[in-house]
């Protein structure tokens, strides 16, 4: 397979589907989750399939097997860390609004790079139901900000100081919410805990920038993509064929 998950696939509970062995399914998911520590390209597909470990069906098992077929065809694909790369800390964040068919919760995706070196990545279903794309993006950005602040603290122990760390995402409305106090009167339905993002913008810890959707690296952690888009993003994340 050229990609770990087919474009447009939206897995659901499939209550009418045929059940499969839970132990086998969970074992396959566990192996894939272990592998995501070095293969960010399968992060979204694996996390999506992991949501159905309680009552796995044949449709879910088929999706997991596709990931293994993708891995079988890309055994030498891995992360490359160039020696002469800079040490600029940059973060990308994105969200797929109401992407889960079970409860209509959105999926957050983010990644952090030190120069051209991918250090951290995540794909996670949000805890709350977002009523708009802007809210979903804002929640994802808040989660990314938490990770950035933790990394800033860790890197400080190595003598590296960072301020105004750029967080890039493709939602101008979310940037407006974090930067313009007037906008907050219209977004009271957003949980208060996510407004710490605005505090860090004001303190100068982070800066939020708009990036076109086609250059949004975190897009790969939120949804299924076609082969051309998928290959473009994994190359931008620093994944290379080590056998070449």
Q: Where in the chain is the domain with CATH 3.30.420.10?
A: 89-219
Residue-wise pLDDT tens digits, 69-103: 999 999 999 999 988 888 899 999 999 988 887 78
With bands split at pLDDT 50, 70 and 90, how would you rate the model's confidence at 134? confident
Residue-wise pLDDT tens digits, 20-73: 999 999 999 999 999 999 999 999 999 999 999 999 999 999 999 999 999 999
Q: What share of the chain is helix, strand, coil (3-state, %, to 5)?
A: 45, 20, 40
pLDDT of residue 83: 85
- Nearest to 72, CA basis, from 43, 107, 101, 32: 32
Q: Which residue has the tokens 């995501």?
A: 36
Its CATH architecture, for the domain 89-219, is 2-Layer Sandwich (3.30)
Q: Does pLDDT of 215 surpass 60?
A: yes
pLDDT of residue 85: 83
- Nearest to 104, CA basis, from 87, 70, 128: 128
pLDDT of residue 192: 66
Which of the 8 DSSP states describes residue 19?
B
Q: Does pLDDT of 197 surpass 60?
A: yes
Q: Which residue has the higher pLDDT, 201 or 222?
A: 222
CB environment 128-164: b (16+ within 10 A), e (fewer):
eebebbbbbbbbbbbbbbebbbebbeebeeeeeebee
Task: State the Cα torsion 185-191-196-201 to the nearest 10°.
Answer: -50
Residue-wise pLDDT tens digits, 175-189: 877 666 555 555 555
pLDDT of residue 86: 87
With bands split at pLDDT 50, 70 and 90, how would you rate the model's confidence at 244? low
Helix/strand/coil for 33: helix
- Nearest to 19, CA basis, from 58, 53, 50, 48: 58
Mean pLDDT of 114-141: 89
Q: How far apart are CA 169 and CA 158, in angstroms?
A: 28
pLDDT of residue 210: 93
Residue-wise pLDDT tens digits, 140-171: 988 999 999 999 999 999 999 999 999 998 98
């Amino acid at each position: 397979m050229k990609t770990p998950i087919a474009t447009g696939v939206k897995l659901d509970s499939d209550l009418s589907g045929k059940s499969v062995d839970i132990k086998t399914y969970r074992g396959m998911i566990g192996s894939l989750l272990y592998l995501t520590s070095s293969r960010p390209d399968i992060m979204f597909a694996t996390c999506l399939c992991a949501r159905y470990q309680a009552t796995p069906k044949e449709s879910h098992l088929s999706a997991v097997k596709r990931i293994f077929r993708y891995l079988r065809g890309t055994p030498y694909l891995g992360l490359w860390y160039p020696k002469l790369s800079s040490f600029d800390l940059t973060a990308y964040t994105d969200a797929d609004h109401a992407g889960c068919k079970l409860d209509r919760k959105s999926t957050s995706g983010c990644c952090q790079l030190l120069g051209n070196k991918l250090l951290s990545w995540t794909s996670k279903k949000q805890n709350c139901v977002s009523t708009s794309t802007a809210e979903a993006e804002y929640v994802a950005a808040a989660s990314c900000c938490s990770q950035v602040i933790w990394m800033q603290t860790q890197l400080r122990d190595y003598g590296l100081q960072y301020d105004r760390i750029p967080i890039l995402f493709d939602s101008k409305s979310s940037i407006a919410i974090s930067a313009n106090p007037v906008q907050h009167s219209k977004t009271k339905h957003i949980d208060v805990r996510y407004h710490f993002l605005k505090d860090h913008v004001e303190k100068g810890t982070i800066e939020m920038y708009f990036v076109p959707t086609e250059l949004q690296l975190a897009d790969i952690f939120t949804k299924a993509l076609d082969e051309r888009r998928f290959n473009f993003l994994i190359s931008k994340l620093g994944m290379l064929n080590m056998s070449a």
